[in-house]
Structure 1
């Protein structure tokens, strides 16, 4: 992955890349959320992206020492401020959760605890037509976390994201990222 060929939406406090991957340190009180329930609109999270057209799969492996409420890192696709999907680990109630937020005008949020989280996660987001599949790797098996609607006519940017809504200084290492033709989701 050529991290230097990608672009930041909201550059983080610190970012550099080396043979181990992309190292990111989040800024203070950063997040992506649009309206639902809480009423606020945050669009200041960190998103390193490139254009992605048609159907594709986006995959990453990352690690972080999550410790504060709502610390998060993972993948994102974004058309604009009101149409995007973020997925990955979100730290809620002192536990790592697999989480997905889909925003089509307003945000929604789904999550499930990941008590066996050992500090590293492999994650995949696949876009085919009007659908987005989010999967995570458990051992050698890819498991589906979410299947969501996303407007097929919208062009998107795709990449990695991280946020720390309650603090600054979450350190994340994205060990790799790949944007490829779509990987089959026929098992679902």
Structure 2
């Protein structure tokens, strides 16, 4: 792949590389800034590489989602107050496709994945075009679906995989086929 990756908050245990990486979270990890809950957390796990300009990052993720807020997916990050995390998050007894956009404070949107199970392969794709980021997902290889179009700085940043477990430790996630490369077409509707 050619990209140099490094850990932000190394997890409890990990194995593999950017082609297939498996890791287990530490206790009570998360990325969140203020909104609704009033706390700041920046201790989630992320395996990131530097990016500039337009790009697309994608990965397939599966995890042992059991506890409230178990989550795994992609992260785009400038610093602790400017980032996006997206992927699967377990809430209300169901897997949801989740997007959190943070510009000093965090917001959160979810799409329930009714009928999905922890055995499903969830594709997560994040594309930056200038000062906008498009977030898409795919379930078991189906067509990419748009989840979010959000503003984000066009400056240098880091991108890669992330996982958190705000209510426990030991959440296990596996990431396959991580790629970071040229941006896909700007066409929003394939």
Normalised by the length of structure 1, the TM-score is: 0.94
The number of equivalent residue pairs is 186
Q: Which is worse superposed, 10-19 or 177-186? A: 10-19
* Residue 137 of structure 1: how far off its partner (Å): 1.4
Residues 102-143 of structure 1, C-alpha deviations (whole Å, 9 max, x = no match): 001110000011123233201100001110000011443111
CA distance in 2, matches of 1:140, 1:77: 24
Residue aligning to 2:152? 150
Residue aligning to 1:99? 98
* Ranges in structure 1 where 5+ consecutive residues have no aligned partner: none
Normalised by the length of structure 2, the TM-score is: 0.93
CA distance in 2, matches of 1:121, 1:165: 21
Paired residues of 1:62 and 1:176 also in contact (CA < 8 A): no
1:59-70 alignment, distance < 5 Å: 59-70=58-69
Residue aligning to 2:107? 108
CA distance in 2, matches of 1:19, 1:182: 19
Helix, strand or coil for the counterpart of 2:66? coil
* Residue 20 of structure 1: how far off its partner (Å): 7.6
* Residue 37 of structure 1: how far off its partner (Å): 1.3
CA distance in 2, matches of 1:57, 1:115: 27
Residue aligning to 1:174? 175
CA distance in 2, matches of 1:163, 1:58: 19
CA distance in 2, matches of 1:187, 1:30: 33
CA distance in 1, matches of 2:18, 2:125: 22
* Ranges in structure 2 where 5+ consecutive residues have no aligned partner: none
Helix, strand or coil for the counterpart of 1:141? coil
CA gap 1:122/1:102 in 2 versus in 1, 3 angstroms: same
Computed over aligned residues only, the root mean square deviation of the Cα atoms, in angstroms, reads 1.7
Paired residues of 2:16 and 2:22 also in contact (CA < 8 A): yes
Residues 78-110 of structure 1, C-alpha deviations (whole Å, 9 max, x = no match): 001110000000000110000000001110000
